Structure 1
Amino acid sequence: MNGAASLLVVNFIIAASFGVVFVVVAGHSRSRRPAYWIGAGYNVASLSAICELLVAYGFMPKLWALGAFSSVLIGMVLLGMGIGDLYRKRLAGWIICAFVGASVCLSYLIFDLHRGTPLQAFLYQTPFAIVLLVSAASVLPFRKRSSIDRFLGILLLITGLHFFAKAGLAVIAGAGTSARDYVHTDYAIISQSMTAVLVVAVGLTLLAALILEIMSDQRDESDTDTLSGLFNRRRFERTVQSILERSPDGKHAIILCDLDHFKTINDTFGHHTGDLVIREFGRQLLHHLPPHAVAGRIGGEEFAIFVPDTETDMAVGLAQTLRSATMTLPGLPATLQVTASFGVASLTSPANIAEAHRKADMALYEAKNAGRNRVKIAFGRA
């Protein structure tokens, strides 16, 4: 077995391994479907190595040559579908099927052309380049690009363009006079080496993107109260501190909230209903809060809201809106009326965050002592 044939075996093992890994990762990622597409793409593309070896050492070289071309192309298309799913840039199924069919027909038509001519080389490599350049176009304009997204987009762009370079190399170095000659040429060694490097690079980058997503989800789960869907106390305090560091001179507001008679709700209607109250109230908070606000569940029936760059009167208006919303929580027993009390305090200095919290807490207890189901304002600024 010569060098090119050995590289074909190596590429088969690499692609098949990536295929298995992506299928395993799919079971742990919220991007399950994209991961399955990508894994399927690598598994299908790995078959091209077997087909290339059968072209050189088996019977019916034309059939296996079409198999090699089709498996690489379909594998790349599946990879592109996974990337499109991951970055919300999906192509219509009929476009994909039409492109694959036309490309396979093109490969059949050019099979008997003299290998290594510019026409044959560029017609053969262009479909591969198109698939990866379309994938790059799915990633690069993505609005929420991270550094790993930018790197992936550039890598896909380079990988797509490298197929044109391979076509030029086939013309310069020669790809043999027939399909059987391919694995015995220097061009095959260079081509398979380039492919191995790029296959590994793209696979590792996609794998890193999915693993980072899994890690982010796990971090969010550990920082999120599963019942209300809001931040837990630790995440809430850390997020507020981060906002204050970015905007130390702003006027902010803190709202503390306590569900009224929550123990009675649990004792009368059961803990299931109490959990339902917490869950629905959390949804109401998320629905009514402005995008820049932060909300957390800091105790059993206690909630905290931080509204950056907001005057006290606006925060009071928000608290009144939330107070009204608690009286119409959906999905609760008809005889159950849920209300909440609110305390509002202003904050002008990050150093006084504890004092602002204390003032909001005092205002909250004033609201409860005054009969509950109302909003009270702490006097003075912290």
Structure 2
Amino acid sequence: MSSPNQYFVLIVPACAALLGIAMIYCWSRLRDHRYLLWIASGYISTAIPMGIHSLMPNEQLARWTLPLSAMYLYGVWALSHGVALRFGGRAHPRLAGAIVLVTLGLLFYFSQIDDDLWLRLQILNWGLALLVALPVKSILSGRSRTIPLATLLRASYLTALLYAFVRVFALATLIPHEMQPELTRSGLWLLMLATNMFISIWVALAILTSTAMSIVQTLDHERSRDPLTRLLNRRAFFEQVKKRLELYGHSGWAVMTCDLDHFKMVNDTWGHAAGDRALKEFGALLARTVRQDDLAARFGGEEFVLLIRSTSLHTAVLVAERLRNSVMNLHIPATAHTLTASFGVVQLNSNGDINQAIEQADRLLYEAKHAGRNKVVWKAS
């Protein structure tokens, strides 16, 4: 083998190992992204036998077939399992185990009993291709819609799957038995290594880019949410209102303000833990009640604001009444207090001034408080 070719066959496993190390580093900073560790394990576990296999003389391959093949098979399954986890699924470990056992059994026979390098290559590559195919169902599932760059990641992995089967048929049709001694020195072998390197780098970049975008989305989500109730905070509420009004226009909306009655008494009597529990339960009730186009936010303390998609003020008032009745059914452990809430509801006027509408709804809310609490007060804006 010429010196340039020797260097090249080492570049491919070295790249795979470096990709694995990069994944481990990312996982060390992002422990919640467990799939990164599996993918890292896959890259490193395939890099080791790839380097040994490319440099080892063919006459020694039979002796090392089983350990090298076991590392290949584990590495490919680990990578497949990691990708499946990224899409919220699994790479069928029991089925994978069966594929690995059958593959290793056949490899043992054709290395220790009936030495046949050509058949060993076919068997190993079929086993690898089947392992690559295991996460396809997870990749194509509807859950992938929430993953950033899901289309790119899906296309990258399916390209790797296609290549795995193309490699099987290329080895079966382009390498006759008489070429066995020269296999790892052939141009086809170098082409396969180059393709492996390109696809490995491409898939790794797709995974890392998707992960980075997930982190950005998570940070943006956390920045937009009230930490206790997980509803929108004040800033995010106004941002979303602007988008809603630009998308749907200013008509057909109602603004609702509400807060829990006697909330200070709950804090003073049963402690802040009970008060926080009351806010969380009320926030969860609002989240369950609002529809896709509606918005619910906590502005601070026990004050909440909603933007309701409503063709009439009457419809929005019915929503408020339903909420008012539901609040009284909320149970706060370790307290003997029945929660109630007061509401102010206005129709958003044609100019869409959300601040003016909130101020008017607040005035109605205070009217409800002064009228005895646990009431809904409304007025056309």
Q: TM-score, normalised by structure 2?
A: 0.86
Partner of 1:94: 94
Do 2:328 and 2:340's aligned partners in 1 also have CA atoms closer than 8 Å?
A: yes
Change (3 A) 1:285 1:148: same
Correspondences of 1:288-299 after superposition (within 5 Å):
288-299=289-300
Do 2:254 and 2:347's aligned partners in 1 also have CA atoms closer than 8 Å?
A: yes
Partner of 2:323: 322
Matched residue type, 2:235: R
Do 1:175 and 1:181's aligned partners in 2 also have CA atoms closer than 8 Å?
A: no
Q: What count of residue pairs does the alignment treat as equivalent?
A: 376
Correspondences of 1:1-382 after superposition (within 5 Å):
2-29=3-30, 32-53=33-54, 55-56=56-57, 60-109=60-109, 112-113=115-116, 115=118, 122-145=122-145, 148-170=149-171, 174=175, 181-248=182-249, 250-347=251-348, 349=350, 351-378=352-379, 380-381=380-381
Q: Which deviates more from structure 2 when the two are superposed, residues 63-72 or residues 90-99?
A: 63-72
Alpha-carbon distance between aligned partners in 1 of 2:184 and 2:236, rounded to the nearest angstrom: 58
Give % identity.
27
Q: CA offset at residue 167 of structure 1?
A: 4.1
| Structure 1 counterpart SS, 2:79 | helix
Residues 148-178 of structure 1 show CA distances to partners (whole Å, capped at 9, x for unaligned) of 2112222222222223433454467648857
Q: CA offset at residue 75 of structure 1?
A: 1.3
Change (3 A) 1:130 1:142: farther
Change (3 A) 1:264 1:120: closer
Q: TM-score, normalised by structure 1?
A: 0.86
Change (3 A) 1:300 1:159: same
* Alignment RMSD (CA, Å): 2.9
| Structure 2 counterpart SS, 1:12 | helix
Change (3 A) 1:302 1:27: farther
Matched residue type, 2:138: S
Change (3 A) 1:78 1:336: same
Do 2:91 and 2:134's aligned partners in 1 also have CA atoms closer than 8 Å?
A: no
Change (3 A) 1:231 1:179: farther
Do 1:122 and 1:164's aligned partners in 2 also have CA atoms closer than 8 Å?
A: no
Q: CA offset at residue 284 of structure 1?
A: 2.2
Q: Which deviates more from structure 2 when the two are superposed, residues 322-331 or residues 219-228?
A: 322-331
Alpha-carbon distance between aligned partners in 1 of 2:369 and 2:29, rounded to the nearest angstrom: 45
Q: CA offset at residue 139 of structure 1?
A: 1.8
Alpha-carbon distance between aligned partners in 2 of 1:61 and 1:109, rounded to the nearest angstrom: 14
Residues 236-266 of structure 1 show CA distances to partners (whole Å, capped at 9, x for unaligned) of 1112221222211651222111222333333
Change (3 A) 1:170 1:251: same
Do 2:274 and 2:335's aligned partners in 1 also have CA atoms closer than 8 Å?
A: no
Q: Which deviates more from structure 2 when the two are superposed, residues 171-180 or residues 34-43?
A: 171-180
Matched residue type, 1:100: V
Alpha-carbon distance between aligned partners in 1 of 2:206 and 2:251, rounded to the nearest angstrom: 40
Change (3 A) 1:109 1:329: same
Do 2:148 and 2:213's aligned partners in 1 also have CA atoms closer than 8 Å?
A: no
Q: Which deviates more from structure 2 when the two are superposed, residues 351-360 or residues 197-206?
A: 351-360
Do 1:175 and 1:182's aligned partners in 2 also have CA atoms closer than 8 Å?
A: no
| Structure 1 counterpart SS, 2:330 | coil
Q: CA offset at residue 324 of structure 1?
A: 2.5
Alpha-carbon distance between aligned partners in 2 of 1:173 and 1:48, rounded to the nearest angstrom: 23
Q: Which deviates more from structure 2 when the two are superposed, residues 255-264 or residues 142-151?
A: 142-151
Change (3 A) 1:122 1:54: closer
Q: CA offset at residue 29 of structure 1?
A: 4.4
Change (3 A) 1:289 1:249: closer
Q: CA offset at residue 364 of structure 1?
A: 1.1
Do 1:31 and 1:86's aligned partners in 2 also have CA atoms closer than 8 Å?
A: no
Change (3 A) 1:70 1:120: closer
Change (3 A) 1:5 1:323: farther
| Structure 2 counterpart SS, 1:231 | coil
Q: CA offset at residue 22 of structure 1?
A: 2.5
Change (3 A) 1:309 1:195: farther
Change (3 A) 1:155 1:301: same
Alpha-carbon distance between aligned partners in 2 of 1:130 and 1:348, rounded to the nearest angstrom: 62
Matched residue type, 1:157: L
